[in-house]
Amino acid sequence: MFLYIILIFFFIYAIVCHLYNKILNFPPTLFPTLPIIGHIYLLKNPSCLHRTLTKLSKLYGPIFHLNFGNYPVLVISSPSIIEECLKQKDVIFANRPLGTTSGKIIAYNYTTLATSPYNGHWRNLRRISHEILTTNRLNAFSYVRVDEVSLLVLQLLRLREQQDKTHALNMRLLFKEVTLNTLMRMIVGKRYYEDCIVSSKDSEEAEMFRGMITESLRSASYVLVSDFVPILRMFGFEKKLHKKMIELRNNRDRFMQILINQHKTTPKTDCSSNSNESKNNVKSMIEVLMALQESEPEYYKDEIIKGLLLDLLAAGTETSTTTMEIALSFLLNHPEAMEKAHMELVNIIGNDRLVNESDLAKLPYLHAIIKETLRLLPPGPVIVHASSDETTISGHRVPAGSMVLFNMWAIHRDPMIWVEPDKFMPERFLENEGLGEGFTLLPFGYGRRVCPGENLAWRMMGLTLATIIQCFEWERMSHKMVDMSEYVRGLSLSLTNPLQAKCRPRSTMIKVISQI
């Protein structure tokens, strides 16, 4: 009898919620909405959120409404509606969701660039990020990227010589190392992987850094249901994850404080073989921020500087590493595309020197490969914003404080936009130069919240991929195709299995490689 009463209550509640949403003119809402948890029951597998939302959009349309516990959620999978949100009403949708445990603990109570609400503090952080990522500054650090990619080439050769020629190369690890070394040289003037660390003190610092990065990547999978259903906190639900977040926050804070203290006391130099940072008198990002702290110590506190640097490090690492790994995976599965990319390099660059960043603009097919990779498997398949005020979108009411999920995965694979959307075809961007413009391809977001490191990411991805294609012939580990299945950790997409591959130096490039 009691069970029947509960079922009747749930049914009446769902009907009332459904009618309430219609009366208030909310976008189409999934039925039923359950008490307390809302529509969280639909998210059985958070690692496939993008696919779940895509299936729902086929049933309920390009804009629909959900409730994650007490959070109103708007899901959008239409380029025209995204344009309405991020172009026509960008100020209203420039916010980030508040109330998450990670934002409070890891992101210094929502004071970082990625998590801060749209206010004066965020605008100041945005201005600073533009200052340290200007085109001139990126150009000044171009030698760092060239140096690190050259070291990657030498590392590939060394690994091939040390190991059996049939042994796999872990390309995810190698891409992560070159990306992190590049970013850390730009941020603090030193690298943390391989053998550039010589003193025991620096070795401990490097080990702390690598541990912090590992923990940070793992923490991206921490999705707390109690953020959406606060009543669960009363019962100690997800207490272990909460504790892990605190430990991660403390470890990251401790490492970044060491770097800040070092720059407060002594000038830093690069520990790499080519200490060009000091020779070229190019200030690292932390030096620029420390100079700002000297002029405005009451605002530029250590906490603000740590949050900004950690955001730049996390965003730059995830996007570049993931995209390069996936792009090489696609090329291994499509050797004809790999050959086209190589022939473009031969025709434009030749075999007498290595490709450099100034050459990238002359390599349209390489750019098409990266664009196609970002289309099929974007590092951020779902972009998260929040509304600061009540407004209307596509004729529907959107409450203030709504979480807004822009499902780029669905748009990137929409057959009304893309011919054979599930097929890897870089040529589509050469045959139709306007393809992907507007709001049909947004791997880095758009508007006020667009990724500030987009220019840097394009340079890193382009130079690294061009160089390893120019210098090496690549093969799969077997005749079996590379597994392209994906999963989402937090909001970042990765291949389920790290890419394993074989390579050998191209005979036409051995002389050039030997001169590195």
pLDDT tens track for 58-96: 999 999 999 998 889 999 999 999 999 999 999 999 999
Report which of residues 334 and 161 the model is more confident about: 334
- Buried b / exposed e across 264-291, counting CB within 10 Å, b at 16+? eeeebebbbeeebbeeeebbbbbbebbe
- 48 annotated as a binding-site residue: no
**Among the four given CATH numbers 1.10.10.10, 2.60.120.330, 1.10.630.10, 1.10.579.10, the one describing domain 1-265+281-514:** 1.10.630.10
- Note the pLDDT of residue 219: 61
- Note the pLDDT of residue 21: 65
Evaluated on CA atoms 382, 385, 390, 394, the torsion sign reads negative
Q: In this model, does residue 453 exceed pLDDT 60?
A: yes
75: left (phi over 0), alpha (psi -120 to 50) or beta: beta
- Note the pLDDT of residue 197: 41
**Of 120-129, 150-159, 279-288, 377-386, which gets the smallest average pLDDT?**
279-288
pTM: 0.90
Token digits of residue 475: 């093969």
What residue ranges do the domains of the chain occupy?
1-265+281-514
Residues in a beta bridge with 494: 487
Give the H/E segment covering residue 341: helix 335-348
pLDDT tens track for 419-432: 999 999 999 999 87
The radius of gyration of the chain's CA atoms, rounded to the nearest angstrom, is 24
- Note the pLDDT of residue 267: 52
pLDDT tens track for 304-330: 999 898 888 877 788 899 999 999 999
CA distance 189 to 191: 7
